[in-house]
Structure 1
Amino acid sequence: MSFEATEHQHVRFNPLRGDWVLVSPHRMKRPWAGQVERPAEVDIPIHDPTNPLCPRVTRPNGQVNPDYESTFVFTNDFPALLEEVPSPPVSDDPLFCAGQARGTCRVMCFHPHTNITLPLMTQKEVRAVIDRWIMELEDLGKKYIWVQIFENKGAVMGCSNPHPHCQIWASSFMPNEAQLKDTNQRQYFLDHGTPMLMDYVARELEKKGHLLVLSWRVTRNTGCSMVVTTHLCYAQPQLKSLWWAMRCWHRPNVT
């Protein structure tokens, strides 16, 4: 019997994390009787006077949001990270260690209307969002080693507020996943002299015509990666505008 990747179980190496992933394609043949949920039918108003992210609404801390017409950024009223906190004492027990964690959390509203999402916004409105991302990244990046901009969208993801917004977390430490991938990419560059992700994109482009590529080492059915085909460094002058960088992004060549 000869090995078939689409039929026989095997493990695949993930160079970004440095670990191995079990792949069992034959399990796709099993009967499936999972429950299917219907999308919730919710009538979202343009403006909700009780929503703390809407313009002119008072937030839980007593501050009133301005009558903003584009993007609006403020420090999270219930942040996971604070700038000034005492550091934990040094532990003599290697099994119970704690370290310093400082940072800040911001909330960024994309649009004054609650019943709109980023994909439905105009190009001008999306440009304003991207430009503000750049401003926040450059501002927080001067003080913190890690800045992460992310969006939890939808109640199923734990986002209870339908207003279009994202979170911006900046920290004095690198998250575990980011640290792991940074270490492995640095080692790959030392070993091969080329960026790992650029080599990965080159391999995928050899297959021709891929609009969307399911990662070869994906661990779940929602796993997806986007990688630009042009290698740009954050420090390069031409990357001053993320919008310019996105114009270099060729959609047919994205993984």
Structure 2
Amino acid sequence: MFRASDDLLMPQPPQFRRDPFRSHWTILAPERSARPQVGLGMLPRQSFPDDPALCPFCPGREDQTPPAVLTYPADPSGDRTAAWRLRVVPNKYPAVRPDLGTPYCQADESQAEAPAMGRSEVVIETPRHLDDPKRLTLAELADLFRAYQDRLLALAQEGTWTCAAVFKNVGAEAGASLPHTHSQIIALPLLPRPLAQESAVCRTYLERTGRCLTCALLERELHKGHRLIARSEHFAVLAANAPRFPYELWLAPLRHQARFEHQDPTAFQELAQIWHQVLAALDDACHQPAYNWILQTAPWQGDGVDHLHWRVELLPRLTRPAGLEWGFGCYIVAVTPEEAAATLRQHLPPLP
């Protein structure tokens, strides 16, 4: 792995930065790290009781989930305590359902309604009862990315859905309701506003410059190195330029690729390696924070996707959004991206 050289970072006065894709504003305010915070400590990775004997995702309790839509069988030469090494099942408690008929919206300026049609799935990433994705083996992490690809391809073939939300909540503070490590995939018949806004911005940039906005960003960051955390042959990990949370980071392929499901699967082992390194560095530097990771990939419906470039975002829950964030979409972050990148570079473990 390549690590950028660390430069001495001078203290900065408060600074506005705008996210290039969705145009939200971040206020970088390093001085706020010294303010008193009575009653607030590190946000919990897990804060709910964990009884493995009751876990519905563990082997032997397959009847507690709906029938699997995807199963990777166990390796005959490996652990034989389970017949599978990964399962994808419909969510037993879905936010959206595929049986609600054709979406219909009756809207005026005051109201818009439609049946919550969609598919909601859970990726059970390992038969082992783990609450920490960093403890997944590289083979298990590679399987996870392969499962994302397999399900995205299958859902796209249905021809019903506009896009898919693929995400993982780690820790109760980040929204996890069960400790057994898992991800979620939700296929939607609509395009959420942030995705539509990003698509419009990236399309305009391509028309104006002839280049992909993400490719241009990667080229600049690889040259300067200030926000580069790690790099491999095909992927780079950067600290977000206008973070919503301290230590927010993005992973993107160096080669232009709009849809994650079109990624060459032979690169998933490499992807697993660099991602495992980054998870370990984050846990070491930030004392195992709760976090969300989110796969941003091009929608299935729309007028072309050449202007888009997939990425994985990781948002550590190191602070709680408050009035400015919720009311105005403007984020206050006390750690600069350059400082976050330098810290994470120092905590990167060696390759296994």
Return the alpha-carbon distance in structure 2 between the equivalents of residues 81 and 129 of structure 1.
Answer: 23
Amino acid at match of 2:155: L
Amino acid at match of 2:229: L
Describe the shift of the 1:227–1:56 C-alpha distance in structure 2 as closer, same or farther (beyond 3 A): same
The alignment-based identity, stated in percent, is 19
Deviation at 1:226, TM superposition (A): 1.8
1:54 is aligned to 2:58: yes
- Answer whether contact 1:228 1:249 (CA < 8 A) is retained: no
Match of 2:28 in 1: 23
Deviation at 1:50, TM superposition (A): 2.0
Return the alpha-carbon distance in structure 1 between the equivalents of residues 191 and 150 of structure 2.
Answer: 21
- Answer whether contact 1:6 1:26 (CA < 8 A) is retained: no
Match of 1:193 in 2: 210
Q: Give the alignment's TM-score, normalised by structure 1.
A: 0.77
1:127 is aligned to 2:142: yes
SS at match of 2:93: coil
Return the alpha-carbon distance in structure 2 between the equivalents of residues 116 and 157 of structure 1.
Answer: 13
1:90 is aligned to 2:106: yes
- 1:206 is aligned, of 217, 223, 228, to 223
Amino acid at match of 2:13: H
More RCO (CA 8 Å, sep 6+): 2
Deviation at 1:60, TM superposition (A): 7.3
Match of 1:244 in 2: 267
Across the aligned residues of Structure 1 and Structure 2, the Cα RMSD in angstroms comes to 3.6
Amino acid at match of 1:53: F
Return the alpha-carbon distance in structure 1 between the equivalents of residues 126 and 105 of structure 2.
Answer: 43
Return the alpha-carbon distance in structure 1 between the equivalents of residues 209 and 181 of structure 2.
Answer: 42
- Size of the alignment, in residue pairs? 243
- Answer whether contact 2:152 2:261 (CA < 8 A) is retained: no
Deviation at 1:198, TM superposition (A): 0.9
Deviation at 1:169, TM superposition (A): 0.7
> What whole-Å deviation, never above 9, does each CA across 1:107-165 have from its counterpart, x for those lacking one?
11111121364332333333332222211010012232211221111222231211121
1:139 is aligned to 2:154: yes
- 1:36 is aligned, of 31, 37, 41, to 41
Match of 1:229 in 2: 254
- Answer whether contact 2:138 2:273 (CA < 8 A) is retained: no
Can you give the 5+ residue segments of structure 1 that lack an aligned partner in the other structure? none
Determine which structure has more spread, i.e. the larger CA radius of gyration. 1
Q: Where is the strand percentage greater, Structure 1 or Structure 2?
A: 2
